[in-house]
Amino acid sequence: MQKDTISRRQLMATAFAGVFSPATRLLPGVPARIAGRAAWLSPVAALPVMIAYVCFLRAVTVPAQSRGGLCAVVERSLGRIPGRAVLAVFGVWIVFYQAFILRMAAERLAAVVYEDSGVGIFMTVTAAAVSAAACGRLRSLSRTAEVLTPLLLAGVLITLVFSAGGIKAENLLPVTAADAPGILYGAVPVIDVMALLAYFEFLTDGVRPGGDDKREFIRWTSLGAAAVFLAGVCVIGALSAPLAGKLENAYFVMVRNIKILNAVERIEVVTVGMWTAADLIFLAALAQISGEFFRAAAGASGRRTFSALSCAAALGGAFLIAGDSFALRRLGERFVPACNLILVFAALPAIFAIGRLRRKI
């Protein structure tokens, strides 16, 4: 039986398509609240941090990764029992994050497309579709993402081009040295979104060896930063930083204001379609990642059963998570980003440092 393997480029396309949804939800609205009109420069400040992190991650894990993937690296670093316990904790967090993304996707569809409708049916149907994708081949998911990614980029580029006419220079300039602290602080949510790419590294056991992994990661990270930068220029330039910071989804509001031969609704439909497709890719990838965590924690050989159970648990969690859309928004702007940053920038480096000290990786 042929092994379910993909290329590094396919993995990065899957990651890029997946993080499109949280990126358009959080950016550039959250940085705009922090950095004001200089927030469009926050992606520039975030890029060196992510490139440095990528270089660290690859330098630490590549020598040992050929012997079982990143989950095996974690287990060797900490020892069998502590390592598997940590992997289980990571799996639980990813399931919670799945539940959060599932609930956010349903809330967005209910608010934007089907107003005043319940979110339960959206969550159930989405979870069923995600479960089918997550239990399939990683190769199939990555090929779908590979097709979707150029469409996402084309859609973003089209909306940015047609919104450029509404940009006002006074909403973006002047930027002075006094704005530097805000720009750096505004880079934190950008880094948080880009840090989600690190979770996809736990699928690299299915990536075919060969090629320059570091260069591919840097290329896709830079592409993401460029897209966020251009979106920030257009959204803040068109809406102003105070307004963008107050809106729940500044990017979508900007899209709603675009008129192409008076066909505003058509642009909205395309944008919602891109969001929905990106949500499905992201949720299916998260289910495969959580399945990989639980598979490694249990010492089992296949992740499909664990991925299916993760989808079921995420659906149950989505019904329980947060009381209303306002509580959900606070959860998504504070608790979830903080946990992601801690796991990616504190927990993983600490684990790899322990592994190096123990000479296990």
- The predicted-structure confidence for 125-160, as pLDDT tens digits, reads as follows 889 999 988 888 888 888 888 888 888 888 778 877
pLDDT at 283: 92
- Residue 360 forms part of a structural domain: no
What distance in Å separates the CA atoms of residue 26 and residue 100, rounded to the nearest whole number? Answer: 14
- Residue 3 forms part of a structural domain: no
Say which residue the tokens 């060797």 belong to: 76
- Residue 270 forms part of a structural domain: yes
Asked if omega into 174 is within 30° of 0 (cis), the reply is yes
How many Å is the maximal CA-CA distance in the chain?
65
- Residue 361 forms part of a structural domain: no
What distance in Å separates the CA atoms of residue 241 and residue 281, rounded to the nearest whole number? Answer: 31
pLDDT at 2: 45
Read off the pLDDT of each residue in 234-260 and give the average, rounded to a whole number: 80
User: pLDDT averaged over the chain?
Assistant: 83
Confidence band of 171 (pLDDT split at 50, 70, 90):
confident
Read off the pLDDT of each residue in 219-227 and give the average, rounded to a whole number: 84
Q: Which two structure tokens, joined as six digits, stand for 38?
A: 């200089």
- Residue 250 forms part of a structural domain: yes
Read off the pLDDT of each residue in 316-329 and give the average, rounded to a whole number: 80
Q: Cβ distance 267 to 260 under 8 Å?
A: yes
The mean-pLDDT minimum among 76-80, 95-99, 210-214, 292-296 falls in: 210-214
- Count of structural domains, the chain: 1
3-state secondary structure 284-347: HHHHHHHHHHHHHHHCCCCCHHHHHHHHHHHHHHHHHCCCCHHHHHHHHHHHHHHHHHHHHHHH
- Residue 235 forms part of a structural domain: yes
- Residue 16 forms part of a structural domain: yes
How large a percentage of the chain has pLDDT more than 70? Answer: 89
Range of the domain at 314: 8-354
Long-range CB pairs of 238-242 (<8 Å, 24+ gap) are 238/163, 238/166, 238/167, 238/168, 238/171, 239/171, 240/37, 240/168, 240/171, 241/32, 241/33, 241/35, 241/36, 241/37, 241/39, 241/171, 242/32, 242/36
Does residue 264 surpass a pLDDT of 60?
no
Of the candidates 336, 146, 149, the one whose C-alpha atom is nearest the C-alpha of residue 227 is 149
Let me know the angle formed at the C-alpha of 249 by 331 and 287, rounded to the nearest 5 degrees. Answer: 55
Let me know the angle formed at the C-alpha of 247 by 245 and 250, rounded to the nearest 5 degrees. Answer: 85
CATH number at residue 219: 1.20.1740.10
Q: Cβ distance 297 to 30 under 8 Å?
A: no
Give me the phi and psi of 257, to 5 degrees please: -85, -5
